[in-house]
Amino acid sequence: MQAVTGSVVNFMDYLKRKSVGSVRGVGLCALFSRQGDWAFDYALSLSRYHETKLNIFHFLESPYVFQRDVVFIDSAKRITARVTPELLAQREKHMREAFEDRLGDYVNVGFRLCEGNDEYELRKCFKKRDFEILVIGYERKNAPFGGATIIEAFATKFRGPVVLVGPESPGSYYLNNSAARRWVDLMMPQGSFHTLNA
């Protein structure tokens, strides 16, 4: 019988090597807020770590739940305009410029400007495998999401892993059950996050 020789590997190093590259795409809901910035930083570092694509989604907000061809065009949400190809091109250009400097040399990035309902669009893109893990800025508890629900309800019901970043600090994370099971892939030490309960 031949002896097996080799080096002893630190367990954390083993987990790190095992998890690198195991995520096929990170999705980010772009929010132009402090928590949105924290979520962006985390999503970018997660994408870099796994050497995977970062897909940035931005949703045009509408005063209507079903008729989405009219959207707000100001941050105060007072002025609306009908969605046109020109408006979409202008908004997409603005979105790319907003993230360009912060992305640095990371080029494996996709941008998607969405007119539809947040929940429906994200579920559709997850099903198409545009991303495997979804990151969202957690601006406040019970914040509306998608016009028909609140952020916690969306995250707990979503089929894939969801990481909410905030609302207190950039190191404050709330994970749905699917994400909590993958804490190693998410670069989080066990016990450093809160689990959202259904």
- CB-based contacts of 24, cutoff 8 Å, min separation 6: 52, 129, 132
Q: Which residue has the tokens 């916690």?
A: 152
pLDDT at 157: 95
Is residue 36 in some structural domain? yes
Is residue 82 in some structural domain? yes
Residue 89: count of CB within 10 angstroms of its CB: 11
Which domain range does residue 113 map to? Answer: 23-195
Instruction: Give 186's pLDDT tier (boundaries 50, 70, 90).
Output: very high
* Per-residue pLDDT tens digits for 105-121: 999 999 988 877 788 88
Is residue 127 in some structural domain? yes
Please tell me whether residue 26 adopts helix, strand or coil conformation: strand
Instruction: Give 66's pLDDT tier (boundaries 50, 70, 90).
Output: low
Distance CA 126, CA 107 (A): 21
Residue 28 tokens, joined:
């980010």
Distance CA 168, CA 47 (A): 23
Is residue 2 in some structural domain? no
Residue 104: count of CB within 10 angstroms of its CB: 9
Residue 29, domain CATH:
3.40.50.620
Higher pLDDT, 111 or 20: 111
Tally of domains within the chain: 1
pLDDT at 132: 96
Distance CA 177, CA 125 (A): 20
